[in-house]
Amino acid sequence: MSSVIVLTPLIIAGWPAITSAVTAAVSTMGYALCKETGARRHLLADAKTKAEIEIENSEILEAAAGTGEELIVEKDGIRAVFSRDARGALKVCMEGVGYSKQELRRLGQELIGRVTQQYVYHKMITELRERKLAVVGEEVAKDRTIKLRVRNW
């Protein structure tokens, strides 16, 4: 081994890439995509505990198709609403019945981690392909870490 580097990802993407990452992440966590949006969603949300988390190091690119978008996922009485905040960062608002703010925040952080992981995975695969670096091994560990083995031919 000659070097080990640890990196914190920056999420800089348009809404379609965020949608793909959220969809891929939640499918393995038991969340389901929800079609309900707008006034009804906010009316329901008023009666619940909420925790809002802004994803550090993120920027959702403002494009014709994308601003004002939101993505809602649900599981066991918890609702997570992904959107772009006023500063352009990705945020998630966790809402739930029977959960404390701390529990919602913890679940939100877990969700954000997995969305970030999926974003990084897809970005990495795309960039490696462009540079003609071959993925020769891929596995998901028990702790959900994705392990890739890449070869420079």
Residues contributing to the site for other proteins (CB under 8 A): 1-10, 57, 110, 112-117, 119-121, 123-124, 127, 130-133, 136, 143-152
Cβ proximity to other proteins: between 1 and 39 the closer is 1
Instruction: Supply the DSSP symbol for 107.
Output: H
Q: Beta partners for 60?
A: 13
Cβ proximity to other proteins: between 91 and 114 the closer is 114
In the complex, least distance from residue 57 CB atom to other proteins, rounded to whole angstroms: 7
In the complex, least distance from residue 107 CB atom to other proteins, rounded to whole angstroms: 13
Instruction: Supply the DSSP symbol for 62.
Output: P
Cβ proximity to other proteins: between 41 and 122 the closer is 122
Q: Can you tell me which residue has the tokens 């403002």? A: 62
- Can you tell me the distance from the alpha carbon of 31 to that of 79, in angstroms, rounded to the nearest whole number? 9
Is residue 53 a contact partner of residue 108, using CB atoms and an 8 Å limit? yes
